[in-house]
Amino acid sequence: MSVKFEPITGRYMHLDLFGRPHRVYVEEAGEGTPLLCLHTAGSDGRQYRGLMNDARVTSRHRVIAFDMPWHGKSSPPAGWHDEEYQLTSAQYTTMVLEISAALRLDRPILIGCSIGGRIALHLALEHPERFRAIIGLQAGAHVDPYYDLNFLHRPDVHGGEVSGAIVSGLVGPDAPAKERWETLWHYMQGGPGVFKGDLFFYKLDGDIRGRVAQIDTRRCPLFLLSGEYDYSCTPEETLAVAQSIPGCEVTIMKGLGHFPMSEDPQVFLTYLLPVLEKIGRS
Amino acid sequence: MIEKLQQRVNNDAGLVRRGRYLSTTFLLEVGRTSWLITIFEGRIVSVTSGPFVMPSSSFALRASEDDWSKFWSERPPPGSNDLLALVKRRALKAEGNLQIFMAHLRYFKEALGKLREGAGA
């Protein structure tokens, strides 16, 4: 029987975050310029499997994705069973900077999607010197809640089923079925209340509308890529952010939705590779 | 057209299986026209058109004829491709006991998607 292994390796990192010990799962593939990848709310680093398995990316980049605490194979911190998980802008910022430093990454390229795209805007504003370039996927400055978030975490609604069902329409219409349902499976596997806790950042705490225009792209180049079919962060919202930031480059990706790197990696790469090439030249 | 829902849903064994713990009646409004749709253990047992004097339902989904026709088109445009896309645009109102709707959200999205052009019988 012949088997095939992907070039991805995973390790568990122990580090202190927010004054508490954490066990964080980190995956990587490739060699070269570090490319640090941030997953969406309620999901995990598997969303970047397409990038990590594509030699056009990994021949020149060390692609790294960590599962945020509470997500994927990362644990919640000890004591979690008596707490309500809520992600804040301050925690998210600290997490990205601390993990990047712990991995000794030298000014990585940062790529983040959805909540990862939002924190990318925060980092572009507050810590541009730490990154070579920042790529925001489905990045908007704010999203108003459009459904009652309490349905994500209550005992009479299955959290995994409802999380998958809520985001299913955010996948673009042309996504291959295999990748579409892989993307939704990650949502269905999320821990109780975790997606909801991430959305505290996305829909309440992480609002950056008032400050986004202060991002200085001369200090760190900023690229925004958004899928045409995303109704959570719409193309209009991404375009509004881009228009308010001088030097920001923006592309609307035809046919794609809210999870471009996971729902349709091959099409997404046709948009990402030219951006990576441009960053590589600068 | 709405009447096709019964056969199309009931012919999809996977959808019926996923709905096996779902028994309810909900109200569907397409502009000024309304239907009461009754589901028993995942199978649609009746689709009744209004007008009704005293419609009784667990929840209601209300949108304009134009918005539903976009949702039911063969390739819905962005913003009309999902029930929650319509909700986000404030084009679809979901009212009533939404616990039932949300607990079975995949079922309702897929069942109403059966009315899409080209979805077949």
pLDDT tens-digit readout, B32-86: 999 999 999 999 999 999 999 999 999 999 999 999 999 999 999 999 999 999 9
Give the up-direction half-sphere exposure of residue A255: CA atoms within 13 A in the CB hemisphere. 13
Residues from chain B that touch A158, judged by Cβ atoms under 8 A, are 103
- DSSP bridge pairs for A162: none
3-class SS at A22? Answer: strand
Residues from chain A that touch B109, judged by Cβ atoms under 8 A, are 165, 168-169
**Interchain proximity B105–A228, CB inside 8 Å:** no
> Is B121 a residue whose pLDDT tops 60?
no
**Sign of the alpha-carbon dihedral angle for B89, A197, A166, A96:** positive
Residue to substitute from A161, A226, A253, A263, interface B, most B β-carbons within 10 A: A161
- Is the peptide bond prior to B51 cis by the omega test (within 30 degrees of 0)? yes
Q: Residue A80 has which token pair?
A: 């979690």
Question: Any chain B CB within 8 A of the CB of A148?
Answer: yes
Pairing of strands B33-40, B43-49: antiparallel
Residue-wise pLDDT tens digits, A88-128: 999 999 999 999 999 999 999 999 999 999 999 999 999 99
Residue to substitute from B20, B24, B87, B102, interface A, most A β-carbons within 10 A: B102
With vertex at residue A167, the alpha carbon angle to CA A190 and CA A150, rounded to the nearest 5 degrees, is 65
| Alpha-carbon span A12 to A221, nearest angstrom | 31
Interface confidence (ipTM) of the complex: 0.96
The set of residues, in sequence order, having a beta carbon less than 8 Å from that of B102 and lying 6+ positions away, is A151, A157, A162
Give me chain A's average pLDDT, please: 97
CATH of segment(s) B4-63+93-113: 3.30.1050.10
**Interchain proximity A229–B98, CB inside 8 Å:** no
Question: Any chain B CB within 8 A of the CB of A235?
Answer: yes
Residue-wise pLDDT tens digits, A113-166: 999 999 999 999 999 999 999 999 999 999 988 999 999 999 999 999 999 999
What is the per-residue burial (b if ≥16 Cβ within 10 Å, else e) of A139-157?
A: bbbbbeeebebebbbbeeb
Question: Any chain B CB within 8 A of the CB of A165?
Answer: yes
* pLDDT average, residue stretch A52-69: 98
Who among A156, A165, A173 is closest to B106 (CB)?
A: A165
pLDDT of residue A197: 98
Confidence category of residue A253, pLDDT binned at 50, 70, 90:
very high
**Interchain proximity A161–B89, CB inside 8 Å:** no
* pLDDT average, residue stretch A204-225: 96
CATH of A9-281, picked from 3.10.20.30, 3.40.50.2000, 3.40.50.1820, 3.40.50.970, is 3.40.50.1820
| Alpha-carbon span A184 to A161, nearest angstrom | 9
3-class SS at A126? Answer: helix
How many CB contacts within 8 angstroms connect chain A with chain B? 56
pLDDT of residue A259: 98
Question: Any chain A CB within 8 A of the CB of B109?
Answer: yes
Question: Any chain B CB within 8 A of the CB of A109?
Answer: no
To the nearest whole Å, the CA of B70 is away from the closest chain A CA by: 14
* pLDDT average, residue stretch A173-186: 98
